[in-house]
């Protein structure tokens, strides 16, 4: 059985005071035992206060990125060990904004994923096509390449720590979502790829999240699709009422 998961990616939003305010509201809104596993990913500076504030709740704190090396002369970077030392054992890798603005490609992401797995962390691995790829009918192949480059060399045992997040770039922060049918079509394709390249068990046990303008008014329809196991939420996760409504959309 795979988990239903809703993860909020707060991106580069909220200073400490704003984070504390959002966390306060989130704790008020959140039902005690949500059906889905809930995660939030604040900026690096807010990871520890968020971890502290959410202690005793079921909400998991995730980082938005990490470096592939354990330590050393990598000015400005943060390692898996550093994340773990502040209670963070989940990390988002491969977000399209990291790929677009920070030149993260398949090769770098494979190293980051390996480092996370070596450190026994859980990875939310993001991937997805640009509008051009979809228009030219290359989206299925592109997604296959993104998965192959970073994940298909992993040992079977690593897959219990991998969550996939399909995020078509054209739907991120644009207000435009993939239709539930488009999401299902791609998620089915992804699950078939997992079955072919990793195995049946991994294919049926891996959670595949959809991301891209998920809002309270469309979450239910998207999450109802057979191969959609939840969502990675950007904009709407900054509003506690909206986020909790999305969490409760199964
Ligand atoms: P969005 O972002 O919900 O604001 O479209 C999704 C994401 O980037 O993960």
Looking at ligand 1, which atom is closest to the CA of residue 171?
A: 5
Confidence of residue 114 (pLDDT cuts 50, 70, 90): very high
Q: Is 25 annotated as a binding residue?
A: no
Instruction: Give the pLDDT confidence score for residue 174 in this predicted structure.
Output: 86
Atom in ligand 1 nearest the alpha carbon of residue 172: 5
Q: Three-class SS string for the chain?
A: CCCCEEEEECCCCCCHHHHHHHHHHHHHHCCCCCCCEEEEECCHHHHHHHHHHHCCCCCEEEECCCCCCCCCCCCCCCCHHHHHHCCCCEEEECCHHHHHHCCCCHHHHHHHHHHHHHCCCEEEEEECCCHHHHHCCCHHHHHHHHHHHHCCCCCHHHHHHEEEEECCHHHCCCCCCCCHHHHHHHHHHHHHHHHHHCCHHHHHHCCEEEECCCCCCCHHHHHCCCCCCEEEECHHHHCHHHHHHHHCCC
Of all atoms in ligand 1, which is nearest to the CA of residue 213? 5
Q: What is the mean pLDDT of residues 197-208?
A: 97
Which residue's alpha carbon is at the smallest distance from atom 1 of ligand 1?
234
Q: Is 129 annotated as catalytic? A: no
What is the residue whose two structure tokens read 């999450």?
223
Output the residue whose Cα is nearest ligand 1's atom 9: 234
Distance 36 CA to ligand 1 centre (A): 18
Query: Region 113-142: what's the mean pLDDT?
Result: 97
Report whether residue 173 contacts ligand 1, using a CB cutoff of 6 Å: yes
| Res. 176: pLDDT tops 90 | no
159 appears as a binding residue in the annotation: no
Choose one of 97, 213, 215, 239 to mutate for the ligand 1 pocket test, by most ligand atoms within 8 angstroms of C-beta: 213
Looking up tokens 């997805």, which residue turns up? 128
Render pLDDT for 28-60 as a digit per residue (tens, 0 to 9): 998 888 999 999 999 999 999 999 999 999 999
Percent of the residues in the chain that have a pLDDT greater than 90, as a whole number = 95
Q: Is the CB of 8 under 6 A from ligand 1?
A: no
Q: Residue whose CA is closest, atom 7 of ligand 1?
A: 234
Confidence of residue 181 (pLDDT cuts 50, 70, 90): very high
> Is the Cα dihedral 55, 58, 62, 68 positive or negative?
positive
Residue 140, pLDDT above cutoff 90: yes
Q: Which atom of ligand 1 is nearest to the CA of 11?
A: 8
**Predicted local distance difference test score (pLDDT) of residue 7:** 98
Q: For this structure, is 67 an active site residue?
A: no
Taking the centre of ligand 1 as the mean of its atom positions, its distance from the CA of residue 72, in whole angstroms, is 32
pLDDT one-digit tens code per residue, 141-154: 999 999 999 999 99
Whole-structure pTM value = 0.97
With beta carbons less than 8 A apart as the criterion, state whether 197 and 218 touch: no
């Amino acid at each position: 059985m795979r988990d239903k998961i809703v993860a909020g990616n707060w991106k580069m939003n909220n200073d400490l005071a704003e984070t504390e305010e959002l966390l306060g509201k989130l704790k008020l809104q959140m039902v005690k035992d949500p059906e889905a596993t809930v995660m939030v990913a604040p900026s690096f500076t807010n990871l520890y206060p968020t971890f502290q504030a959410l202690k005793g709740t079921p909400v998991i704190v995730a980082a938005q990125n990490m470096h592939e090396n354990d330590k050393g002369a990598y000015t400005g970077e943060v390692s898996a060990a550093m994340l773990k030392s502040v209670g963070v054992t989940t990390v988002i890798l491969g977000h399209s904004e990291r790929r677009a603005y920070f030149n993260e490609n398949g090769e770098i992401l494979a190293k980051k994923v390996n480092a996370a797995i070596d450190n026994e962390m859980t990875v939310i691995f993001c991937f997805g096509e640009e509008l051009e790829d979809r228009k030219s009918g290359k989206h299925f192949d592109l997604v296959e390449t993104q998965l192959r480059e970073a994940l298909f060399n992993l040992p079977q045992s690593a897959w219990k720590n991998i969550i996939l997040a399909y995020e078509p770039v054209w739907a991120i922060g644009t207000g435009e979502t993939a239709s539930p049918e488009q999401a299902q079509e791609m998620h089915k394709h992804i699950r078939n790829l997992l079955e072919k390249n990793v195995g049946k068990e991994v294919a049926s046990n891996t959670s595949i999240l959809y991301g891209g303008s998920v809002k309270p008014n469309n979450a239910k329809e998207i999450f109802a699709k057979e191969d959609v196991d939840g969502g990675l939420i950007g904009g709407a996760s900054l509003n506690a009422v909206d986020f909790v409504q999305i969490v409760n959309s199964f």
